[in-house]
């Protein structure tokens, strides 16, 4: 609710109080029916009184904080004030904003409101917004248009964007379902299969506790992320207006986030193993101040599509970062130190696993044939499949690892089962480190580790094994751009 339009002072829409009450109600329901079920059933009146008191306390707390929280939009900053139990005085400079997003969840849709999300250029709070403001939808769109014109120099309104700006890639809702299934990292898929196998074993062993534990872990590791991804990326659109990229998506809760191209530190084409089998890939970016909790904190610029489609989106969306590459492949002699490392890791991992499983089997003799069979199957898996997976990863890495340098960025292709092709802006590199260990040095090989800011925290990207002089070109180019003036910090403000 706007208090004084001339001073541009706003207060959250009262529907935020309803959101607080819904959250409290869900917590109470879970607590009563899962933790205090027997007590609640035997003491219905006392339970009702306790729940009513908690809800009334929540209502009073929410109203008190809502009444005393104000958002003042000044000429150069957003000033958030709260004079409640403790006093808050927060100043958010417009120049520090990474994006002004819009989110509409179920409560927003019921009350006709929108939530403005303010993310700053900082990795410290990228997973959560620096501030949020709930307003009626028309007012929120008008305020966002005004902020976009100041921050991103966008003269196009939200309504015009919806009509005039066409998405750079057509993503069907069937593509989103495939993205949820095939786009997950290989380790996550293996964990889900392992929990499913464990649940089946516990079911045949008539162990209800073990079965429920496996089902819960399977639901947390596979089912919930699957549902969350579909709900989040449904109705996906991405477009670019001038130097501003806008991403829209969402089924129940819709989101619209915009950010400047110069805030992108790197962009990667990620190909999980399952997706690569179907010649599909996805496009991600590292944008400081913008995190995606459903995708390891890397904002998605294109959900799972054909590899050629993703490359086309990248070339049209970010021509500043990509270049025509003639990549240098990892030398064949790099296989020798990799295989030696794999052999050492295999002996250690398989030895520990077999020792644990053999010990477990001695305790299960005569207890349960199903559990004994499951442990022996796991022993076979540890003895045969684990070495295959370890050595297979090196074989995949040797096949795909490449390296190349361009005018404004350089490219690393890295990974084993999940392959990443990453274009990194020279100007966003904080420092590089070229190392050659005792196994790599005799073969004249080294690795380059690049450190930069990511969407959340610091990020290290490590290349494959190449000749040290070739890898040193990255650091040489970074320093040369600083020395001759091609690097200008003002371009990234």
| pLDDT, tens digit (0-9, with 9 covering 90-100), for 120-168 | 766 455 556 788 899 999 899 888 888 877 776 666 666 666 666 788 8
Alpha carbon distance 330, 390 (integer Å): 19
Average pLDDT over residues 265-285: 92
Q: Please tell me which residue, 33 or 79, carries the higher pLDDT value.
A: 79
Q: Give which of 70, 133, 65, 67 is closest to 97, Cα–Cα.
A: 133
Measured distance CA(338)–CA(341) in Å, rounded: 5
| pLDDT (tens digit per residue) in 89-108 | 888 888 777 778 888 888 89
Query: What pLDDT, on the 0 to 100 scale, is given for residue 152?
Result: 64
pLDDT band at 2 (very low <50, low <70, confident <90, very high): very low
Distance CA 299, CA 261 (A): 13
- Is the pLDDT confidence value at 359 over 80? no
Q: How far is CA 167 from CA 236, 239, 241, 316, in A?
A: 9, 5, 11, 11
- Give the pLDDT band (50/70/90) at residue 255: confident
Those residues whose C-beta lies under 8 Å from the C-beta of residue 486, and which sit 6 or more positions away, are 480
Beta-strand (E) ranges in 250-318?
Answer: 254-260, 264-271, 280-287, 300-306
pLDDT given at position 372: 67
Counted residue by residue, the chain has a size of 493
What phi and psi, each to the nearest 5 degrees, are found at residue 215? -65, -40
* Separation of alpha carbons 128 and 291, rounded Å: 8
pLDDT, tens digit, 9 for 90 and up, residues 317-337? 999 899 988 888 999 999 999
Sheet containing strand 131-136, edge to edge, reads: 131-136, 113-120, 97-104, 254-260, 244-249, 237-241
Evaluate if residue 401 carries a pLDDT over 70.
Answer: yes
SS3 (DSSP) at 454: coil
**pLDDT band of 206, cuts 50, 70, 90:** low
Which of the residue ranges 55-69, 207-221, 383-397, 407-421 would you say has the lowest mean pLDDT? 207-221
Query: Rounded CA gap, 73 and 91, in Å?
Result: 10
Question: Does residue 385 have a pLDDT over 70?
Answer: yes
For the range 341-347, what are the long-range contacts, defined as Cβ-Cβ under 8 Å and sequence gap of 24 or more? 341/439, 342/390, 342/391, 342/393, 342/394, 345/390, 346/386, 346/387, 346/390, 346/391
Q: Is the pLDDT of residue 8 over 70?
A: yes
Nearest to 316 by CA among 249, 267, 258: 267
- As a whole number of angstroms, the distance between CA 200 and CA 194 comes to 10
Residue pair 302/327 in contact by the 8 Å Cβ criterion:
no
**Percent of residues, the chain, with pLDDT higher than 70:** 83
Looking at residues 301-320, what average pLDDT do you find? 92
- Report pLDDT digits (tens) over 421-443: 999 999 999 889 999 999 999 99
Using CA atoms, how far apart are residues 234 and 252, in angstroms rounded to an integer? 9
Mean of pLDDT values over 301-311: 93
Spatial contact of 13 and 136, defined as CB atoms under 8 Å apart: yes
Rg value, the chain, Cα: 27
- 413 within 8 A of 391, measured Cβ to Cβ: no
pTM: 0.79
> Is the Cβ–Cβ distance between 443 and 467 less than 8 Å?
no
412 near 403, Cβ under 8 Å?
Answer: yes
> Which ranges in 326-385 belong to alpha helices (H)?
335-364, 369-380
Q: Does the pLDDT at position 37 exceed 70?
A: no
Summarize pLDDT for 469-493 with one digit per residue, the tens.
999 999 999 999 999 988 877 777 6
Q: Is 167 exposed, middle or buried (0-12, 13-18, 19+ CB in 10 A)?
A: middle
Give the model's pLDDT for residue 155.
Answer: 60
The per-residue b/e assignment along 392-418, b for 16 or more CB within 10 angstroms, e otherwise, is ebbebbbebbbbbbeeebbbbbbbbbb
Between CA 413 and CA 421 the distance in angstroms is 4
Query: Sorting pLDDT into bands at 50, 70 and 90, what band is 398?
Result: very high
Q: Are 255 and 277 in contact (CB under 8 A)?
A: no
- pLDDT > 50? residue 237: yes
Q: Residue 459 above 80 pLDDT?
A: yes
What percent of the chain shows pLDDT beyond 90?
34
Which DSSP letter does residue 252 get? S
- Listed residue (403, 418, 407) closest to 463, CA to CA: 403
Cα of 242 vs its chain's centroid, Å: 26
**What is the phi/psi pair of residue 326, to 5°?**
-120, 75
């Amino acid at each position: 609710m706007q208090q004084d339009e001339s001073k541009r002072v706003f207060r959250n829409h009262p529907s935020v109080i309803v959101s607080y009450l819904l959250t409290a109600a869900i917590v109470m329901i879970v607590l009563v029916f899962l933790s205090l079920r027997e007590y609640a059933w035997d003491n219905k009146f006392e339970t009702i009184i306790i729940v009513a008191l908690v809800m009334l306390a929540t209502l009073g707390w929410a109203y008190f904080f809502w009444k005393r929280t104000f958002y003042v939009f000044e000429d150069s900053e957003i000033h958030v004030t709260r004079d409640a139990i403790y006093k808050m005085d927060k100043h958010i400079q417009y120049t520090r904003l990474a994006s002004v997003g819009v989110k509409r969840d179920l409560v927003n849709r019921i009350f006709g409101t929108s939530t403005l999300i303010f993310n700053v250029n900082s990795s410290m709070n990228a997973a959560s917004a620096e501030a949020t403001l709930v307003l009626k939808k028309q007012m929120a769109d008008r305020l966002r248009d005004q902020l976009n014109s100041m921050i991103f120099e966008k003269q196009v309104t939200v309504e015009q964007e919806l009509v005039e700006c066409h998405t750079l890639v057509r993503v069907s809702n069937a593509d989103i379902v495939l993205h949820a299934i095939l786009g997950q990292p290989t380790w996550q898929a293996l964990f889900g299969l392992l929990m499913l196998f464990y649940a089946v074993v516990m079911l045949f062993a008539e162990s209800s506790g073990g079965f429920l534990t496996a089902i819960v872990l399977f639901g947390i590791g596979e089912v919930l992320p699957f549902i969350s991804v579909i709900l989040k990326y449904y109705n996906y659109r991405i477009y670019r207006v001038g130097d501003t990229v806008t991403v829209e998506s969402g089924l129940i809760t819709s989101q619209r986030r915009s950010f400047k191209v110069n805030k992108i530190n790197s962009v990667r084409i990620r190909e999980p193993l399952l997706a690569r089998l179907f010649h599909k890939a996805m496009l991600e970016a590292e944008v400081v101040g913008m995190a995606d909790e459903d995708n390891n904190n890397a904002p998605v610029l294109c959900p799972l599509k054909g590899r050629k489609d993703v490359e086309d989106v990248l070339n049209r969306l970010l021509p500043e970062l990509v270049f025509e590459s003639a990549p240098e492949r990892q030398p064949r002699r790099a296989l020798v130190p990799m295989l030696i490392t794999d052999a050492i890791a295999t002996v250690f991992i398989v030895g520990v696993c077999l020792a644990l499983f053999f010990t477990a089997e001695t305790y299960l003799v005569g207890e349960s044939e199903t559990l004994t069979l499951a442990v022996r199957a796991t022993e076979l898996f540890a003895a045969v499949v684990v070495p295959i997976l370890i050595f297979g990863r090196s074989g995949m890495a040797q096949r795909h690892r490449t390296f190349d340098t361009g005018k404004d960025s350089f490219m690393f292709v890295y990974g084993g089962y999940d392959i990443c092709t990453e274009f990194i802006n020279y100007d966003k590199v904080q420092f590089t480190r070229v190392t050659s260990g005792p196994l790599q040095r005799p073969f004249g090989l080294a690795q380059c580790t690049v450190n930069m800011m990511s969407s959340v925290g610091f990020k290290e990207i490590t290349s494959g094994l190449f000749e040290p002089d070739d890898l040193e070109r990255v650091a040489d180019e970074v320093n040369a751009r600083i020395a001759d003036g091609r690097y200008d910090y003002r371009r990234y403000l």
